[in-house]
Amino acid sequence: MPAKRSAAARREVMGGLAKGLEVIRAFTREHATLTLSEVAEVAGLPAATARRCLHTLEDLGYVKRSGRAFVLRPKVLELGAAYLESMNIEALTKNYLEDLASQTGDSAALTVLDDTEIVYVARASVRTLLRLEAHVGSRLPAYPTSMGRVLLAGLSPEHLTRYFSRAKIVPLTDRTVTDPAKLRRLVDECRAEGYSAVEDELAYGVVAVAVPVFDQAGTVVAALNSSGHSKRISRAKLVRERLKMLQDVSRRISAELRGVSGLSLSAQR
């Protein structure tokens, strides 16, 4: 019976839609312009399939040609905008993150976990931290960030194991923790203590503390952080001065998110 249900479920899946999304995801900041053959290779699709997807996306206004190559058009932003609007992120940013940034004189952000990366869904900043300046939609690896470790701490043991089997863990500075065993211990500590703090691991000068945001079932659905420059504030002082503030804001955001079903840990799907 389970096999029959699985087969029936598969019949309801639109393979063409999945392939089209793979084509869109083939474009990145590093590869903003791609030829047909490059799209096929990155998306793992036959050239003929990639061509049909590109032609369809071009007809719908999501892709345009540039000589022999293709580039995404701004209309692609509508896909992400639908997600953000469904969560009423603008209200969260205005009511909470901007107040938090104003009180600390630094940056505040809300992220979710997508596979091995964190994705910024809201952000407010009083000052520019570094050239490494995130914005809504920015992606960063989870392992060297305070918000990433908070989100990893919310995973089940099997999903956490899956994360470590998939993540590319490399040193970004000489202070980046890359040993999987040590990272697991840090994630365990975060789960026990209810917060994570990092300094100079993602980039030199970046110090941040993060706490989890929960849904009504007590599941971690997002991470909230406050960040600054390590030359102005130490990791210990950041935790001492901002942890309680973050926890209070987290409780308020968690209450706001109780009616939002779209905010979930995609890595657990």
Give me the tens of pLDDT residue by residue for the chain, a chain 269 residues long.
444 445 555 556 678 888 999 999 899 877 889 999 999 999 999 999 999 999 999 999 999 998 899 999 878 867 766 666 666 666 666 788 988 988 998 889 999 888 899 988 888 887 655 545 677 888 999 999 999 999 999 998 989 999 999 999 999 999 999 999 999 999 999 999 999 999 999 999 999 999 999 887 788 988 999 999 988 899 999 999 999 999 999 998 888 777 555 555 444 43
Do 159 and 42 share a domain, yes or no? no
Let me know if residue 252 belongs to a domain: yes
Do 218 and 131 share a domain, yes or no? yes
| Structural domain count of the chain | 2
Q: What is the pTM of this model?
A: 0.70
Do 211 and 109 share a domain, yes or no? yes
Q: End of a domain among 31, 49, 75?
A: 75
Do 172 and 48 share a domain, yes or no? no
What's the Cα-to-Cα distance from 221 to each of 143, 155, 214, 261, rounded to whole Å? 17, 10, 5, 10
Do 70 and 100 share a domain, yes or no? no
Do 105 and 214 share a domain, yes or no? yes
Task: Label residue 184 exposed, middle or buried (CB < 10 Å: 0-12, 13-18, 19+).
Answer: middle
Do 44 and 105 share a domain, yes or no? no
